[in-house]
Structure 1
Amino acid sequence: MTRPVLTSEPRPQPAGRIVGIPHQTIPNSGSAAAPTACRADVDAGRWPDVARLPSAAPARTALARHFVGRALDRLALTGPATGVRSSAVGPRLTLHDPDAFHRRIGRHGLIGFGESYMAGEWDSDDLAGALTVLAAHTDDLVPARLRRLRGLWVSARPTADRNTRTGARDNIQRHYDLSNDLFAAFLDPTLSYSSAVFTAFPARSESLASAQHRKIDRLLDLAGVGEGTRLLEIGTGWGELALRAAARGARVTTLTLSVEQAALARERIAAAGLADRVDVQLRDYRDIEGRYDAVISVEMIEAVGAEYWPAYFTALRRALAPGGRIALQAITMGHRQMLHTAATHTFISKYVFPGGLIPSREAIAEHSAAAGLHTAADDGFGEHYAETLRLWREQFVANRAAVTGLGFDPVFRRMWEFYLAYSEAGFRSRYLDVRQLLLTEGTPR
């Protein structure tokens, strides 16, 4: 795997804006304290909380240095400040700017940890491996007596990120409308942006595209999609599931809020000669019209937000014709972890998926049952997502020059690599899972 050369030296910034998000900056964390330093190698207009170090808070910084340092030592993640590889086995962290690293964590917890990586203040010879070790010990990193004080370094989710009809459209566009070419730089040719299903690990003997088709076919089979099926898809992506469903003889209505995705999906569907079988609509799931024999939604619930899960499952139920079937693919986390995450502004909600929240299995069961739906099948395959993310991350790093050519600066590239590695670590540590579920009307007999 090709890895970027990372140093603490200033890095050149490409000219121009980030493709797909003109005049947009990532909002700051809302800290009232004035920053005391600014990194000259980071665009402060585009990345305000990465460019500006939080103001010095000696007590918090000292706590972070003590407890984080102890945790890194205990987990054998401590690396030499010089960046020289030691003889120790396993992933290592190298701190290029220890003071900034601890100051950010002391002020903003895990958001600060991610922003420090974006700023180039620390690095790892195995980013996903190091994050996996940390994810596997997430409950041990901070002593129990200090967890009660987590409000000192976490903040609530911004109300502006709520998934109202307007908010949901804005949130989706902030991620999926970055650039179709960006996603093409790390996804396989099917442009599937969800977990594949492999025959073996590591995935050396088959293509990612083949594994993605296996995932899609399992969902189509689960929903009973065949000749003449009226299928509703909530969350179009770039159209691959709709294409395979139409090739089976189904008539597909597929919904998205992403203008970029809708345009490319329509192009791909027309090129396949299936435009008469697939209707791509820019429509919110709350505005579904008609009844369908089958409904499929792939990793869409994570973008809905807990506040709107009742509306989501009610919409699924309302769209279902008598005797119909709903197939969902959903990322899940433990229920206790979900409750903590729901109340917290996280690195992912700030920089990657604003307004999103990964549900627990309990939350899915509760809200689907309240809508009159019964879970008839539930299959987990989290290790497949870890492998999918590994392949995406390796492709993204290998195509770093192409991403730069699209106008994305070094901070964005580090953010995106961190996001992919962070997600991979979640599945490798079993903190996260991904599941395919079959929902039907009514209650179990």
Structure 2
Amino acid sequence: MQRSLFRYTTAFLLPLLAVGLVLTGCDSTGSNGIDNDNGDNEENDTFSFEYPSSTYGTETAVNLLAFDLGVRVGSAAENSESVLLDLYEGNNLDGTTLPSALSGSPEQSTYGDVASGVTLSSLVSTEPLIRGNQLGPQDTPNSGAAVNTDELLRFYLQEAGADDSKRTSNGIVLSQFAEKMLLGTPLYGQGAAILSDFADGNISSNRAEQWDAAFGYFGFPRTLEPFLDYSGGTEGLANGNIARDVDGNGSVDLTSEYVHTWASYAIERSAAASSTDGPSPDFARDAFDALVEGRRDIENGEEDLSDHAQTALNAWEKVVAVNIIHYINSMEGNLEDASGTLEGPQGDSSGDVGEDAWGEAKAFAWSLQFYSRDALRSQDLNNVLEDIGNDPPYGEMTASEYASDLQDATDILADTYDFDSDNVQSW
């Protein structure tokens, strides 16, 4: 039995789908790939997520908004508090131009071109964050009390937009939390909850729409193979491109020809593992193929999708865990050059710890709160969050003491998910 601390119930999902998946002609079928349907997943197969009813514009917009808010918070001097809150709350969103930092030549130019009526704030969990009451008074609106993702995001958007801040005085990088916390909820939390319901056999109606929504939250393009190249280093993307004009029409459809953040992480972590002497888990192909096969089974009237759902869910959860390890590894690399009590930023430095990496490790650890298997006990997750800390431990710990805590967190995750030691080091 899976444990999901934030349930995406059918009653909550269907109204959102009815309103949020109204597209403007950009998310219909297309010839973005061929499924030879021989089931062998060999190189001559290009599996594709192509069905007439496949609509996940809202989920694509949520991916874009998470990225957009991260970029804008990192450039707070150019983005007021009201601009940031309008994005978060969906105010005047349909006519808002998409971020210029997107790769390729997107077909869509505004959020309304992707999906109409998206309200990001309504999708974010209001469940109290584990150990959120331990955050310092500089880092939370509810000092000493429970705080949820919505409250924390609003506080950080205000800090960035109103005060032109890039970090709190405790070393929390606001842009990292603006993006990475949204990757936890709604993206991972909502997508994992849908797949968990499928795995448990709890979905009996609107199955295609809900499966499509999970696919959209994960952020894969409709055809994966043209994007992959694990031989060229640890990034795993062919020519480093997250955007590809697969159908050759001269532009990139953001709903079908773009690798969004979670899918990109799945590819990158798979590529890193393939370069070691250890096992080569392929989180990206495992998840994508399971999602394609499950969608095909829905189209063919199959009732039991539990295996496909669980396969995709397991791969996604492992990517979350690997991301925590990845950014812990980055912090440990910084700590190798530090000695004595840890020091905060001086000049343009991000401190002995590496504040960007700290923020990403913390936010991704919180992501597991919204879905994790029974193998990761609540106490284990609490310990991981405690080991990472409430903020970068400047003036509180030596480099060796903090490195020991971080190793403890890595050990918990590696043991829980049975990760190979060579892969753990490469991540």
Task: Report which of the two has the higher share of strand.
Answer: 1
What TM-score results when the alignment is normalised by the length of structure 1? 0.28
Task: Report which of the two has the higher share of helix.
Answer: 2
Larger radius of gyration between Structure 1 and Structure 2: 1
